[in-house]
Structure 1
Amino acid sequence: MTAIILAGGKSRRMGFNKALLSYDKKTFIEHQIARLKTIFDEIIISANDAAVYAHLNLPIVSDIMPEKGPLSGICAGLIRSSSHHAFVVACDMPFVQEKAILCLREHIGDYDVVVPQTSRGLEPLHAFYSRNCIQPIRQCLDEGKLRIIDFFPMVKARIIHEQEWKELDGSTLSVTNLNTPEEYQKYFGHT
């Protein structure tokens, strides 16, 4: 199975490429790769600046439609993926937890999307997607519908509600994303 790391964002609120922020002497993306390698056979990076990530020696795909946000990156990753389902995670989620990912994977069955829900709402940047999502995503991109969840009604989606999700230690930590310097300081102020 494949994991796709979305690293093509502009990091406007952070002011710096979030994938390259570091803790414990490694960048966020290096921490993610180390954890994901224990679960997945293939890891793809979705990024528009391949040179930044070339040193990681992983396949890198560009958005299928520039300037269309994460939906375009998810689609590019699914097209390149060698497996039917892929786990998609944003590069600003440095605490991905193996047991949280495995819990989601257990629910795939014949679903095209398996997405957790927390008190903040759906977490589509920490979810599984099938290749059946490619055409619905392309349709949404063509129509200018750029929210990830816009294509969910067009596929078979399974929401893992917070009650199921919270029973796992670290599940909410797994979906924690750091978007601002203040959020980074909150977790890594001592580094």
Structure 2
Amino acid sequence: MISDVTGILLAGGKSRRMGADKRFLTVGEQTLLERSCNILSRIFERVCIVIAQDSQPLETPVPVLRDLIPSCGSLGGMYTGLHQAATPYIFLSACDMPFIHADLIRYMVDVKDEVDIVLGYWNGRPQPTHAVYSRNCLSVVEALVRSGDLKLQRLLTTPALRVRLITEDEIRKIDPEGRSFLNVNTPSDLELARSLCADQREDRGGAPSERA
């Protein structure tokens, strides 16, 4: 178990494009929230869920934090996670990513020590909600939140922060199809995730699809 990184799961509960609370939609035999919590809890000694200030309470054994600053999206959730974590780093993930891969997360954590940010680069795009962030990011995140600039990608161009991109070639060695970065935002995304999960179960002879 990793002790110097806290797993932070963003579960705001807005789900505007889905039309239903994504956290409680099932993929396989678990809800999206359960899938992500279970993976992170196998990796990190400390795991927290961050929800919006106006979100419905969650019944979960994992500690739940409400956003310290309201209505700031993922950047606000990151701020809350960095501010509240007792560790020098956090691993940030979103609960609508049903196929996060424990081995890829561990790989990213393993290369964190000389940098402030470690994140995947997939399909020509950085993946800021599947990333490791150091406490050194906190002041930059706070300044962005206070200014109303809520794009996580802004952190990547901040000269004071050292960034390590995990390339597609590196990712493919662990997660060949990059399923770690699949987000479930719409009903069609949910249908795809359920189909992929069913395929995994068939490939494994009916074994659970969650990756440890």
1:111 aligns with 2:115: yes
Go from structure 1 to structure 2 and tell me whether the alpha carbon gap of 1:56 and 1:50 turns closer, same or farther (over 3 Å shift).
farther
Task: Check conservation: 1:112, 1:132, Cα contact below 8 A.
Answer: yes
Question: Which residue number corresponds to residue 137 of structure 2?
Answer: 133
Go from structure 1 to structure 2 and tell me whether the alpha carbon gap of 1:35 and 1:60 turns closer, same or farther (over 3 Å shift).
same
Task: Check conservation: 2:28, 2:194, Cα contact below 8 A.
Answer: no
Helix, strand or coil for the counterpart of 1:52? coil
Taking only the aligned residue pairs, the percentage that are identical comes to 31
Task: Check conservation: 1:113, 1:127, Cα contact below 8 A.
Answer: yes
Q: Partners in 2 of 1:126 and 1:169 — Cα distance?
A: 13
Question: Which residue number corresponds to residue 66 of structure 1?
Answer: 70
Helix, strand or coil for the counterpart of 1:96? coil
1:16 maps to amino acid? A
Question: Which residue number corresponds to residue 101 of structure 1?
Answer: 105
Q: Partners in 1 of 2:168 and 2:21 — Cα distance?
A: 30
> Larger deviation: 147-156 or 114-123?
147-156
Question: Which residue number corresponds to residue 52 of structure 1?
Answer: 57
Q: CA shift at 1:170, angstroms?
A: 5.0
Task: Check conservation: 1:100, 1:171, Cα contact below 8 A.
Answer: no
Task: Check conservation: 1:97, 1:170, Cα contact below 8 A.
Answer: no
Go from structure 1 to structure 2 and tell me whether the alpha carbon gap of 1:168 and 1:70 turns closer, same or farther (over 3 Å shift).
same
Helix, strand or coil for the counterpart of 1:56? coil
Task: Check conservation: 2:12, 2:55, Cα contact below 8 A.
Answer: no
Question: Which residue number corresponds to residue 182 of structure 1?
Answer: 188
1:173 aligns with 2:182: no
Task: Check conservation: 1:6, 1:89, Cα contact below 8 A.
Answer: yes
Query: What whole-Å deviation, never above 9, does each CA across 1:101-138 have from its counterpart, x for those lacking one?
Result: 01111110221110100014000000001111111001
Task: Check conservation: 2:27, 2:193, Cα contact below 8 A.
Answer: no
Helix, strand or coil for the counterpart of 2:49? strand
TM-score, structure 1 as length reference:
0.92
Q: Partners in 2 of 1:169 and 1:70 — Cα distance?
A: 24
1:144 aligns with 2:161: no
Q: CA shift at 1:51, angstroms?
A: 4.6
Q: CA shift at 1:50, angstroms?
A: 6.1
Question: Which residue number corresponds to residue 168 of structure 2?
Answer: 162
- Of structures 1 and 2, the larger Rg is shown by 2
TM-score, structure 2 as length reference:
0.83
1:76 aligns with 2:80: yes
Go from structure 1 to structure 2 and tell me whether the alpha carbon gap of 1:155 and 1:114 turns closer, same or farther (over 3 Å shift).
same
Task: Check conservation: 2:10, 2:92, Cα contact below 8 A.
Answer: yes
Q: CA shift at 1:171, angstroms?
A: 6.3
Question: Which residue number corresponds to residue 30 of structure 1?
Answer: 34
